[in-house]
Amino acid sequence: MKVDSRSSIRKPLVFSVEVYSHDEHLGRTQTRDINLDGAFLECCTQTLHPNESLELHFHVHDNEQTPLRLSATVIRSTEEGVAVLLDYGAQEYKRLLNTLSTYAHDGHTRKIPGFWYGSSSAN
């Protein structure tokens, strides 16, 4: 997916993410950036390939008990990590939209205690 085809600019937000493939836990990583269409996940312990289906559990808060669970498809893989296309229903869309609008405003991150933040610019 090219940057030009994104519906919105990715925000430099860092959320902890548990990665699963076919019910197998592949490990914990973090986002480098995210928008309503997709995210870039920093290196996983497992090698992920384009078109691979994943289930991602986003932990927005430290020690969050109910993570945001989204299906995703790997779009591209690099040495730095993987770009994924997100797939979700109406409930997940509302929660993701609320999360992004709360923690990323005009491309900047609001610093709120207990949350994960990135210092890199949008991808």
pLDDT of residue 105: 59
**Total residue length of the chain:** 123
Is 38 contained in some domain?
A: yes
CA–CA dist 41, 56 (Å, integer)? 10
- The first and second tokens of residue 94, run together, are 């509302």
* pLDDT tens sequence across 6-36: 556 788 888 999 999 999 999 999 999 999 9
Is 98 contained in some domain?
A: yes
Check which CATH number belongs to the domain holding 67 and give it. Answer: 2.40.10.220
- Average the pLDDT over 57-82 and give the result: 89
pLDDT of residue 76: 93
Q: How many CA atoms lie within 13 A of 108 on its CB side?
A: 3
Q: Name the nearest CA neighbour of 87 among 43, 54, 122, 61.
A: 54
Range(s) of the domain holding residue 23: 9-104
Number of folded domains that form the chain: 1
Is 71 contained in some domain?
A: yes
pTM: 0.77
Is 37 contained in some domain?
A: yes
Distances (CA, A) of 30 to 80, 91, 121: 12, 22, 15
Is 120 contained in some domain?
A: no
